[in-house]
Amino acid sequence: MARRPSGRRPECRSGDGSVTRAARHCAQRGTSARSVGRAVADLYAAHYQAMVRMTVLLVDDVTVAEQIVQDGFVDTGRAWRRLDGGDGALFYLRRRVLARARWHRAAGAGGWGGARCRRAAVAPAGDLGLAGLLAVLGTLSGRQREALVLRYYVGLPNADIARLMSVPVRSVTGQLGSAVTAFEAARRGRQPPGGIWR
């Protein structure tokens, strides 16, 4: 169940009006634009920045990450009537953002964005720095990278990661094991040995 906030709800708008577009779509489908708009705005206020930070770790570019996340909120607003509010909406949002990040990588648009990436407050990155962190993450396969970010940055349990990635839990466990090994091997080439980045 989503927590019912008290008082005035936050006013949130993305640069391309994603919250407004989502509410307009729902209004056209017969759902209250005001109630959907408020619900999506609450979700946006609570999770937008964290979603962008997560997505930067998947696509290496702040500008691209922001667009992916904004589009993810639009997707979520359009699907709102089929979602179970709160946790269901957040799960759907994460899944849409993961899918869009995969499309971006599959299109060959990867390659970390240098100065633009350094603007992202993706912390903590330890002594690697953001550029070094992205370079090390870039040595992993797409699925390894997703599993590692979802587990050690977002902090999700393996069962939730499996649902998001549409794979068995044992597959997530295997991906994480190989990802940690590959990550640490790449990391040791850039700084003295230490524990896995968190």
pLDDT of residue 101: 95
Q: Where are the alpha helices (DSSP H) in the chain?
A: 18-28, 33-59, 62-78, 85-106, 115-118, 129-137, 142-152, 158-165, 169-188
All CATH 1.10.10.10 domain ranges in the chain, comma separated: 123-198
Reported pTM:
0.71
Model confidence at 64, in pLDDT bands (50, 70, 90)? very high
Q: Which of 160, 151, 156, 159 is nearest to 180 (CA)?
A: 151
Tens-digit pLDDT profile for residues 24-45: 555 444 456 678 888 889 999 9
| Angle between helical axes of 85-106 and 33-59 (0-180°, round to 10) | 40
Tens-digit pLDDT profile for residues 84-140: 767 899 999 999 999 999 999 888 754 434 434 444 444 444 556 778 888 888 889
We find that the CATH architecture of domain 123-198 is Orthogonal Bundle (1.10)
